[in-house]
Amino acid sequence: MKYLKRGVNTLRKCKYTIVGLDCADCARKIQASLSHDKHFDKVFVNFSTSKISFETDYESDIEKKANHIIQSVEPEAHILDSKSNNYDFTIYNLLRIIIATALLISTYFVGNNTYTKVAVIIAYVLLIVRVSINAIKQLFHFTIDENFLITVSCIGAYAINEYMEGAMVLILYEIGKILENRAINHSRKSISHLMDIKPDYANLANGQKVSPSDVQIDDVIVVKIGEKIPLDGVIIEGSSSLDTSSLTGESKPINVTKDDYVLSGSINQSGLLKIKVTSNYDDSTVNKVLKMVEEATERKAKTETFVSKLSKIYTPIVIALALLVAIFLPYIIDISYEGSIYRALSFLVIACPCAIVISVPLSYFSGIGSLSKKGILIKGSNYLDALKDIREFVFDKTGTLTDGHFTVTNVTTLSEDKDTFISYLLMGEKLSNHPLALAILDHYQSKEISLSDVSAYEELAGYGIKYTTNGKVVKVGNAKLVGYQEKEGIGTHIYVSVDDVILGYVTLNDTIKKSAKELVKALKKRGLMVSMFTGDNTDIAKNVALELGIDDYYGAMLPQDKYQKLEEKINKGHKVAFVGDGVNDAPVLARADVGLSLGLSGSSAAIETSDVVILTDDLLKINYAIDTSYFTSKVIKQNLTFAFIVKILVLILSVLGISTMWQAVFADVGVTIITILNTLRILKH
């Protein structure tokens, strides 16, 4: 492990935009080069978003030092800051191509051999300067890439007097790189547009306009009509309708008024709002969403990892095969060495792995970006890929399949009078945020309760609450907590015992979500197994399962019971996903092959441990996420299949002497652009 110097200041965390990055393999090399420097740690270069992040112990000129290393690997790439040289390399490259092309064309009209030789040499130098410099720098890092292949091919073509074909290869290659860069940037802009939810400023109540990161908790901000809400908070004045589509994917506006909690990233549509800030920008919903999406590509799918590893050995293998063609082809067919060398050079050109290396990470990030627009956050391309392989979905019941909005439907006393029973009940629930506790408190909101005598308060996950008052030990929770035989019937029962004497119980009922039945039907139509875990009694579990069409259900489960049962299912050998929202779901969400949490109603623990976060309570978005997983995988397979077939076909044709060098480079660049354009379909899926 690398240990960086720590002085008075801690390590600096730096994050920049990196421009001129048009190759996924280059991103990998830049990351590796920076990581090898003792002053850089936790380096990550994200090709899909053109972002670079790292920790460093440098105290000044960090951009200059980082750029020095970056440009030793990729000369045209650099991190972007206020001091960066933002010169457009596209204009420079176009000028080179135009001048070189004009010189080559002029040789057809000037019959002077000396002029022709000088014009061709100048044209070659103009065209080959970029790729040759890149190739040489890569060789210093013991790396052979496409720049080396093109350089060798064109110098070889000149050596065997096929200089016009070599020049044509360089011209087509350079034009192709410009078009490829445009296509990649278009893809990045499309993804960025999907996630354009970051607020630019915040209006403080005193009239100041500041950066959202400068706003403190409990500050009051003003949000005008048409502005984005910059930070999470509670409305203290005003009412409006909010467009939350950029966060949740829901097109229907949400009406809000005083005391309502609002999320950053929402757009104020109809009224002036004064909001008391409840979290700083780093902890705000909009920043968490952006951070999840941006960091998603750090967790790579197996396909992406395989392609990355393949690219390291692909080029050396291609060079070895080209040498075999050049040396041994004259022994197999009637051809001169000059002819076999030409075919080997064509072989090198078509073998460039751009289409394969670029299309896979862009496909996954397009899928993640598309889902983010729908309010579905995927924490890594590996999880997006894994969704298509899930064979069983296991659901928590309360708050997941049901609304979690309980209502008290009955009160049964077994000892003491009803008022005494309710007092003990409310003293326990008053300090809890559990949905059942909130429902009970809402039902008895007019009743005054004093907590002055409450002590030794303790919440027992999966059981209930325990506290002491006036020397008496009170338990409020399920039948297991109070040691009572569970009552039969519909509903959830909350029991109260004082010094182990049962005083009675309240019955609460919940309603099933409208989207739950549709989702279960959709999953079963896919041939997937659907199960349900719940801490409620078996009768309630049975009734909910029957209504939803779930065959496999388990009731009266504690958190450890859920974990053990999930472990059993996973050990059967098929991929299992768990969907939940509560604190007691965190262990199973973490253990599942894919854990999905419902973000708006879900606890922070569930969101942190899950792999997929649904920002609304619409369960059908799970089916949409599965569709996107399948479609992304389909596009990747199309891209890889198309790229490999075209390359193998043209490789064979070049060896047979049917395909020329300029046709080979046209096929290589064309394949790359086509695969990038095909990838953009994911954003519109």
Kind and range of the H or E run holding 18? strand 12-19
- Cβ within 8 Å of residue 528, ≥6 positions away: 390, 391, 392, 393
pLDDT at 3: 46
149 within 8 A of 352, measured Cβ to Cβ: yes
368 within 8 A of 384, measured Cβ to Cβ: yes
Location of each CATH 2.70.150.10 domain in the chain: 216-279
Q: Where does residue 491 fall: left (phi above 0), alpha (psi -120 to 50 degrees), or beta otherwise?
A: left
Q: At what angle do helices 113-140 and 163-194 cross, to 10 degrees?
A: 50
- The type of residue at 407 is T
pLDDT at 654: 82
Surface-to-core class of residue 164, CB atoms within 10 Å of its CB (0-12 exposed, 13-18 middle, 19+ buried): middle
Residues marked active site are found at 396
Question: Which residue is listed with tokens 């000149």?
Answer: 158
CA-closest candidate to residue 344, choices 354, 353, 336 = 336
Structure tokens at 497: 């015992």
Location of each CATH 3.30.70.100 domain in the chain: 12-87
Q: Is the domain covering 376-403+512-615 a CATH 3.40.50.1000 domain? A: yes
Rounded to 5°, the CA angle 178-663-667 comes to: 55
Surface-to-core class of residue 444, CB atoms within 10 Å of its CB (0-12 exposed, 13-18 middle, 19+ buried): middle
Structure tokens at 172: 């087509």
Kind and range of the H or E run holding 52? strand 51-56
Distance CA 27, CA 660 (A): 31
What three-state secondary structure class fits 394? Answer: strand
Location of each CATH 3.40.50.1000 domain in the chain: 376-403+512-615
- The type of residue at 619 is L
Q: Where does residue 265 fall: left (phi above 0), alpha (psi -120 to 50 degrees), or beta otherwise?
A: left
CA-closest candidate to residue 411, choices 493, 507, 486, 498 = 507
Structure tokens at 608: 């942190």
pLDDT at 250: 65
CA-closest candidate to residue 107, choices 90, 83, 94, 124 = 124
Q: Which CATH number fits domain 216-279: 3.30.70.20, 2.60.120.10, 2.70.150.10, 3.40.50.150?
A: 2.70.150.10
pLDDT at 306: 67
pLDDT along the chain (685 residues), means of 10: 49 80 73 85 78 80 82 77 52 85 88 86 89 79 74 84 81 76 65 64 88 89 90 91 73 82 85 90 75 61 65 76 88 87 82 72 82 83 91 90 82 84 90 83 85 87 88 90 78 88 87 89 94 84 89 85 90 90 76 83 62 86 95 92 86 83 77 84 82
pLDDT at 391: 95
Q: Is the domain covering 407-509 a CATH 3.30.70.3270 domain? A: no
Distance CA 14, CA 573 (A): 42
Through-space distance between the first and last CA atoms of the chain, rounded to whole angstroms: 43
Q: What is the CATH code of the structural domain delimited by 12-87?
A: 3.30.70.100
